[in-house]
Amino acid sequence: MEKQLIDNAFYIQSKKWGIYQSYCSDDKPLITSLNEEECIRTTRWYLKQKQENAFDNVGVKTYTSIIDEKL
């Protein structure tokens, strides 16, 4: 199957069980979805956020919990 670039940035491939996977132009997997339109829409959103460095603003939080009960 020939790769057809969408927006010159990514392509979509149909996989087993009727799911769709998007890949960037260097074949790195990006988004998996149940339908093709949603895969395209979500991949466009993801690449836009990545281009605007929106993911750099997300903080990493760590939580610790202890359960002191015997089961």
Is 70 exceeded by the pLDDT of residue 31?
A: yes
Number of domains in the chain: 1
Residue 45 lies in a domain: yes
Residue 43 lies in a domain: yes
Cβ pair 11, 22 in contact under 8 A:
yes
pLDDT of amino acid 24: 92
Residue 1 lies in a domain: no
pLDDT of amino acid 44: 95
Residue 32 lies in a domain: yes
The residue segments making up the domain with residue 27 are 10-51
Residue 60 lies in a domain: no
pLDDT of amino acid 5: 85
Residue 15 lies in a domain: yes
Q: Which residues contact 33 (CB under 8 A, 6 or more apart)?
A: 19, 20, 22, 39, 42
